Amino acid sequence: MNNHHRTNAPRNQGNSKNTYNRIDHRRSDTLVYALGGLGEVGKNMYCFEHEDEILIVDSGVRFPEENLLGVDYVIPDYAYLVKNKAKKKVLIITHGHEDHIGGIPFLLKTVSISDIYAPRFAVSLINKKLEERKMLRSVQIHEINANSSVTMEHFTCGFFNTVHSIPDSLGILINTPNGRVVHTGDFKFDLTPVGTNADYQVMAYIGQIGVTMLMSDSTNSGVEDFSISERKVANEIFEIMRKTKGRLIVATFASNVHRVAQILEAAVKCGRKVIIFGRSMENVVTIGRKLGTIKVGAQHFITPEQLNTLPANKVCIVCTGSQGEPLAALSRIANGTHRYIKLIPGDTVVFSSSPIPGNGASVNQVVNKLFRFGAHVLTKSVLTNLHTTGHASQEEQKLMLQLIKPKYFMPIHGEYKMLKQHGATAMETGIPEENIFMCANGDVLIMRNGKVFPSSYRIQADDIYVDGNDISGVSTAVLKDRKILADNGLVAVIAAIDSSENRILARPMIVSRGFVFIKDSQGLLKEAENIVYHALKEKMAQRTTFSELKNTIRSTLEPFLYHKTHRNPIVIPVILNSKKAMEQMLANRNAKIASTTKTENRKKTTNTKSS
């Protein structure tokens, strides 16, 4: 099923010159386009194409919105890459977050990738991901750092360190036959970082040698000033841990490895033993300790069985669930359903995170439940520095623009308003409006002899909905049916016929689920059965087909149900072409009637005795 949802992001809407002055590309041009990451936060995938080579930067997923019922991931449409299977493809990863590496298993199932290049922490996460799917041997993975280079026939790539909320985050300098491109990856500027500092001198040098186009992270384009340092968050958490008398539970993003490391180190300094809950958190801590990013020894960790043997002020619980996810560890703790942890009055719960837009209600529900158990809950506010972002705010974006000094600018990684705000920031630093490209997924930019133009050509870049591990795509029709089922339920109509005599054998039987309360709607359902019965009887007075009978049931029943209830359930016709099946259906109906009558008589008897 490949009926995909088309992205609503506007096409290139920069200056009018960009909007209308589009050109056709030549074989000698370098093409730049995104299959994901524009007009959305997540699903990052940016491509650079020259003749017989395609360089891909990142391969991420986007997590579904609430209206995408039953969808696990949203990934880019790889159809264009499949179509160009003869072209050599290399994948470079900027860092190890899911919106940059989560799509790799799906990509490898569909597209032949010759090599993957990724920084150290991302390599460990990718290996873990591919190992779980038994795909480790499907591609060669190379570890890179700021001193590495990747050389293809037409592209040469160098790297520089950036600061982000995960270790080993890199920006990329891409040398193409038609100019230089800098891709920042996700970044921020932190003057007192935890972990590796940003390569300011390298960025300044790249700016001096000349950059044709900058592609820069836009996630926090609407946030003014500089973001606070990760070091301040670490100090705040340490102070809370030092002053807390009882048990401490800290919830944060598992992907924020530096934060997790600071929490664990603060616990050790305060003499607390640590226990980790949440699969993703356990994986990150295991990998972090293996790579030396998390420098906390095994003697400081305890098992679930040891949890209740220690004094409350000697325990620190680190868990997932800071976004109110229903199945995450913190939600189960708040619901009282966690296998090992039962909240007690005096527990302190710290949310070292900010709610992602759309998650506010879920987080508030969890916070309320925690308060009901008597816990003391701390969340990020103007009074507490319990969280900081991993993405550049406006002043940091300006600093990147001033360091790189690009001739052309393409904001990436953000919703359309974020891209637009980043474009306005770029104009403040002196980049002409006509040199700024507001693109959507699938828009193509042409690089030609050091200049950049919008192309008249457009690539298919729809969303693919993944249900489980199936990457064939859940069609829009399937999602529409799920929405109808959730809102209106279903009605099944079971009709027994004898096709040899071309007649209906009995009045149809109607079964409802999630539509109306059957006990209170017997009159409605009997009336519906009669209407369908007469419509089928009339239809079968002439030669007909099973398909026509099903259409008759739908076309008769749907308007009737809407007229009576103003709801549109899914109507499922079931035709039984057998006298034996009809007898069974009647037996089931009679048993149901007898059961209902017996229950009602029992109630009447009980009421008579009590009166």
User: What DSSP letter does each residue of 374-395 carry, written as one string?
Assistant: T-EEE--BTTB-----SS--HH
**Do 492 and 462 fall into the same domain?**
no
pLDDT at 359 over 80: no
- Residue 111: the pLDDT is 93
| Model confidence band, residue 353 (pLDDT cutoffs 50, 70, 90) | confident
**Do 344 and 437 fall into the same domain?**
no
CB atoms within 10 A of CB 400: 26
pLDDT at 27 over 50: yes
To the nearest whole percent, how much of the chain has pLDDT over 70?
A: 88
**Structural domain range at position 270:** 230-378
Least confident of 46-50, 66-70, 141-145, 500-504: 66-70
Q: Which residues is 503 bridged to in the sheet?
A: 498
Q: What is the mean pLDDT of residues 157-182?
A: 96
Token pair of 374 as six digits? 């008597």
Sign of the dihedral defined by the CA atoms of residues 288, 294, 295, 299, in that order: negative
Structural domain count, the chain: 3
Q: What is the DSSP letter of 308?
A: G
C-beta of residue 68 within 8 angstroms of C-beta of residue 103 = no
**Do 267 and 297 fall into the same domain?**
yes
**Do 235 and 202 fall into the same domain?**
no
Q: Is residue 145 part of a domain?
A: yes
**Do 362 and 443 fall into the same domain?**
no
pLDDT tens digit sequence for 409-467: 999 999 999 999 999 999 999 999 999 999 999 999 999 999 999 998 899 888 888 87
> pTM of the full predicted structure?
0.78
pLDDT at 69 over 70: no
Q: Degrees (nearest 5) of the Cα angle 83, 89, 93?
A: 125
- Whole-angstrom distance, CA of residue 460 vs CA of residue 53: 19
CATH number at residue 284: 3.40.50.10710
**Do 70 and 163 fall into the same domain?**
yes
- Whole-angstrom distance, CA of residue 24 vs CA of residue 19: 14
Q: What is the DSSP letter of 271?
A: T
C-beta of residue 530 within 8 angstroms of C-beta of residue 507 = yes
| Model confidence band, residue 505 (pLDDT cutoffs 50, 70, 90) | confident
pLDDT at 585 over 90: no
- Residue 16: the pLDDT is 39
**Do 599 and 554 fall into the same domain?**
yes
Alpha carbons within 13 A on the beta-carbon side of 585 = 21
Give, for 369, the enclosing helix (H) or strand (E): helix 360-372
Q: Among all residues, which ones are annotated catalytic?
A: 217, 391
**Do 436 and 342 fall into the same domain?**
no
**Do 438 and 513 fall into the same domain?**
no
Three-class secondary structure of residue 119 per DSSP: strand
pLDDT at 15 over 50: no
Q: Where are the alpha helices (DSSP H) in 461-578?
A: 476-488, 522-539, 546-565
**Do 282 and 343 fall into the same domain?**
yes
Token pair of 423 as six digits? 């474009």
Q: What is the mean pLDDT of residues 210-219?
A: 96
Token pair of 333 as six digits? 């703790």
CATH number at residue 94: 3.60.15.10
Q: Is residue 10 part of a domain?
A: no
pLDDT tens digit sequence for 514-566: 887 777 778 888 888 889 888 888 888 888 888 888 888 888 888 888 888 88
pLDDT at 383 over 70: no
Token pair of 511 as six digits? 């079964």
Residue 483 or 260, more confident: 260
Least confident of 93-107, 183-197, 380-394, 523-537: 380-394
Q: What is the mean pLDDT of residues 191-204?
A: 93
Three-class secondary structure of residue 421 per DSSP: helix
